[in-house]
Amino acid sequence: MADQVGPRHIPTAGAGPLVDLHDLAIEAERRLDPDHWDFFAGGAGDERTLRANEAAFDGYRILPRVLRGGGARDLRTGLLGDELALPVLVAPTAFHRLAHPDGEVACARAVAAAGTVMVVSMAATTSIEAVAAATDEDGRRARLWFQLYPQPDLGFTESVVRRAEAAGCRALVVSVDSPVFGWRWRDLRNGFLDLPPGLCCENMRDPATGRVRDIVMDARLDWHRIDWLRGITRLPVVLKGILHPADARLAVEHGADAVLVSNHGGRQLDGAPASIDALPAVVDAVRGRIPVLLDGGVRRGTDVLTALALGAAAVGVGRPVVWGLATRGETGVRQVLEWLRADLDRAMTLTGAVRPADLTPDLVRPGPPR
């Protein structure tokens, strides 16, 4: 039957095809330098939050509707004035060129082909200008958002914002959960403290001197800095790292255009809740005034479906994109996004939904205790 055709497999050098993103992670670990694998895969402290991000999805059950006769699905999603082909974004992850020589450029080409958004990390190993110039084989450019750690030097921060604007970025994603770096014990054990020669954080290059600055985490970061940022740019501002509903309400009051429920992939505060567990309270606090996004632990189409049903407008994926990049470069990233699209499409069909707006809270129930 034609309906039995699934997403294209991702071939590997091993015995068989990759059939899910966990297989992809195994292949990526095989290919990556062990220290680099630990950097990408690891989290803060004992990695409780890292593990919880994925495990928490097992705490929800999908209650499908039947006999709805919806026909073909339409995964298009409106977000901050754009129409995306699917409600899955590429979340910001640092140092793509550790995974593949083409790095962020390969990722941007894959995102252009998929018709979604790439959030370019401030810690990218390719400049925002070069990422923005990348096109897929059909000449399309990716929609880009830019992830920002506001720096204590406001003049330099503004110069980075201006670069992102000039490159055509359509939103700023401000990481608000990083007043200090989380202690990532894998990196400390490995002595992985800096990039190898030839790589650097290109978006931290000082326009006045050409020197590449270090990213400074600023413990003084507060709502006044968000107000300042809101005042210097017309780009939509997304606050990434919101877990507490009170902060979600404050985000609305301070003019945020969206919030992203995230615990930084378990890389900052170990013991913080899984993103999916924090999502419902944030959605309730926002009360539909701005979109709520989510990242952390999304590995299946049913994970995407669960998040959308609980009120997320879209989800971000980070580590799976790196696994695809490490495995097959641009092609690997394209296949990750296609796999998630196809898996979500099938899950929606089995749930009785035609479009993302059909995914409502009544379709999700708490499962057995974890």
User: Residue 8 has what pLDDT?
Assistant: 46
Question: Does 366 reside within a domain?
Answer: no
The DSSP string of 272-317 is: PPPHHHHHHHHHHHHTTSS-EEEESS--SHHHHHHHHHTT-SEEEE
The more confident residue out of 76 and 6 is 76
- Using DSSP's 3-state secondary structure scheme, residue 79 falls into strand
Q: 67 is written with which tokens?
A: 């006999």
Catalytic, 36? Answer no
Arithmetic mean of pLDDT, 27-47: 98
Question: Does 362 reside within a domain?
Answer: no
Question: Does 360 reside within a domain?
Answer: no
Question: Does 368 reside within a domain?
Answer: no
Total domains in the chain come to 1
Decide: pTM greater than 0.85: yes
The more confident residue out of 208 and 190 is 190
Strand partners, 240: 175, 260
The number of CA neighbours under 13 Å toward the Cβ of 101 is: 0
The DSSP string of 157-178 is: HHHHHHHHHHTT---EEEE-S-
Question: Does 188 reside within a domain?
Answer: yes
Query: Residue 108 belongs to a domain with what CATH number?
Result: 3.20.20.70
* φ, ψ at 171 (rounded to 5°): -165, 155
Domain boundaries, position 65: 2-354
Question: Does 103 reside within a domain?
Answer: yes
User: Residue 18 has what pLDDT?
Assistant: 62
pLDDT in tens, 251-281: 999 999 999 999 999 999 999 999 999 999 9
User: Which is catalytic among the residues 36, 96, 100, 264?
Assistant: 264
Question: Does 364 reside within a domain?
Answer: no
Amino acid at 160: V
Arithmetic mean of pLDDT, 215-222: 96
Chain centroid offset of residue 342 CA: 18
User: Residue 17 has what pLDDT?
Assistant: 63
Q: 85 is written with which tokens?
A: 């082909």
Question: Does 367 reside within a domain?
Answer: no
